């Protein structure tokens, strides 16, 4: 069988479109005026930066919000009190919270979803200055009840910061309809060269090529999005159907509604580390956790059994994933699963 290379870890980092690289190169080589300088190059760059920010907000359904292109994410300015954060936040969010030095508290999960009752109770009883919650978890693609969460926050007059990174290119949405006061987008999840904060004033000193690249990436992802989502859903559903046809004892983690293109599957009696490395040897990139030495913390917070968590693998497809690539995965995967299961159940050779 011919060796192939198939990348199915797109929710960790998706490829940057070639057109984006071309646009960024143009702004490095030709449109290099420092925004705000009084000469024509500076004024042209200032105008371009403003257009990128405006069009980006428009594409995100956030026309009434300012947007700020950033490299390193930092929390917005908040009042006195703790930060209330969900247990499933990405490391980039958690790192920013830790750097802030502000005391934090976690609310509970109700299985795969944010526990709204837990948030409500904490907001009534404690002094909270900011609530942070992802719009969808990156582990299973389960879409979270952000609108309900926002209603509670608004009732208590507490701002809500929502990580909407996983939504980009995987569902249709408008940021203004989520009810959040601030938003964050980690660009690498859809191939953009920088990150974005919604609800903060722009930094006109930010490198123009990166702002141009972010907008261009978002524009490409948004083009014909309904058709792309339909295709992504069809590919994902067929892949899951064939996985079940080829292999017994599979458990699909997560709940509906979920994002397009994400399948997190527990292969019973299969060590996630061994499976991830075995697939990597066959040229297939998937996610089996950020560490093999301890259980994935977010799964623990979702009350998933350690037994299932230790055999969970995530396949994240993207708009450029092809049926041919998935066919290859379906050829190499079942024999590897069978072998690992056999070795686990068989007595060790002396």
Q: Are 6 and 283 in contact (CB under 8 A)?
A: yes
Average pLDDT value for residue range 137-155? 97
Q: What percent of the chain has pLDDT over 70?
A: 97
Confidence (pLDDT) at 349:
46
Indicate the pLDDT class of residue 120, thresholds 50, 70 and 90. Answer: very high
| Beta-strand pair 160-163/128-134 | parallel
Confidence (pLDDT) at 2:
66
The CATH number of 225-345 is 3.90.1150.10
More confident residue, 303 or 212: 212
Confidence (pLDDT) at 1:
55
pLDDT mean across residues, the chain: 93
Average pLDDT value for residue range 218-241? 98
Average pLDDT value for residue range 265-287? 95
The fold of the 21-221 domain, in CATH, is 3.40.640
* Whole-number Å distance between alpha carbons of 337 and 275: 7
Q: Check whether 332 has a pLDDT greater than 90.
A: yes
Q: Check whether 265 has a pLDDT greater than 70.
A: yes
| Inter-CA distances, 20 with 60, 141, 172, 220, Å | 18, 26, 22, 9
Taken as a whole, the chain contains a residue count of 350
Q: Tokens for 273? A: 């580390």
* Whole-number Å distance between alpha carbons of 255 and 258: 6
Indicate the pLDDT class of residue 41, thresholds 50, 70 and 90. Answer: confident
Average pLDDT value for residue range 317-332? 97
Confidence (pLDDT) at 137:
95
Q: Check whether 3 has a pLDDT greater than 80.
A: no
Confidence (pLDDT) at 350:
40
Which residues, in sequence order, are CB contacts of 68 under 8 Å at separation 6+? 196, 197, 198, 200, 201, 202, 203, 206
Domain ranges in the chain? 21-221, 225-345
Strands (E), 102-249: 104-106, 109-110, 113-114, 128-134, 160-163, 182-185, 195-198
Q: 104-118, pLDDT tens digit by residue?
A: 999 999 999 999 999
* Whole-number Å distance between alpha carbons of 288 and 326: 18
Average pLDDT value for residue range 126-134? 97
Average pLDDT value for residue range 38-63? 89
Confidence (pLDDT) at 37:
74
């Amino acid at each position: 069988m011919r060796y192939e290379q198939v990348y199915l870890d797109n929710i960790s980092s998706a490829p940057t479109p070639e057109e984006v690289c071309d646009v960024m190169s143009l702004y490095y080589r030709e449109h290099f005026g420092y925004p705000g300088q009084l000469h024509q190059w500076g004024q042209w760059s200032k105008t371009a930066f403003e257009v990128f920010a405006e069009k980006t907000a428009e594409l995100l359904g956030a026309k009434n919000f300012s947007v700020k292109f950033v490299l390193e994410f930092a929390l917005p300015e908040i009042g006195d009190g703790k930060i209330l954060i969900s247990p499933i936040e990405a490391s980039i969010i958690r790192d920013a919270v830790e750097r802030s030095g502000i005391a934090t508290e976690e609310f509970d999960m109700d299985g795969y979803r944010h526990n709204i009752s837990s948030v409500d109770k904490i907001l009534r009883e404690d002094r909270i200055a900011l609530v942070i919650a992802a719009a969808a978890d990156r582990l299973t693609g389960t879409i979270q009840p952000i609108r309900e969460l926002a209603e509670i926050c608004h009732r208590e007059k507490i701002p809500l910061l929502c990580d909407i990174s996983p939504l980009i290119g995987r569902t249709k949405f408008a940021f203004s309809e989520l009810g959040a006061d601030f938003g964050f987008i980690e660009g690498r999840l859809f191939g953009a060269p920088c990150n974005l904060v919604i609800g903060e004033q722009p930094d006109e000193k930010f490198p123009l090529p990166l702002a141009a690249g972010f907008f261009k990436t978002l524009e490409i992802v948004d083009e014909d999005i309904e058709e792309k989502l339909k295709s992504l859903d069809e590919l994902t559903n067929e892949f899951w159907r064939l996985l079940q046809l080829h292999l017994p004892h599979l458990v699909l983690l997560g709940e509906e509604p979920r994002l397009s293109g994400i399948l997190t599957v527990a292969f019973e009696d299969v060590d996630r580390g061994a499976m991830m490395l075995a697939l990597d040897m066959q040229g297939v990139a998937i996610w089996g956790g950020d560490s093999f030495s301890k259980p994935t913390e977010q799964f623990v917070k979702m009350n998933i059994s350690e037994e299932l968590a230790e055999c969970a693998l995530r396949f994240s497809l993207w708009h450029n994933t092809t049926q041919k690539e998935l066919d290859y995965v379906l050829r190499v995967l079942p024999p590897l699963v069978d072998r690992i299961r056999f070795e686990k159940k068989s007595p060790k050779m002396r």
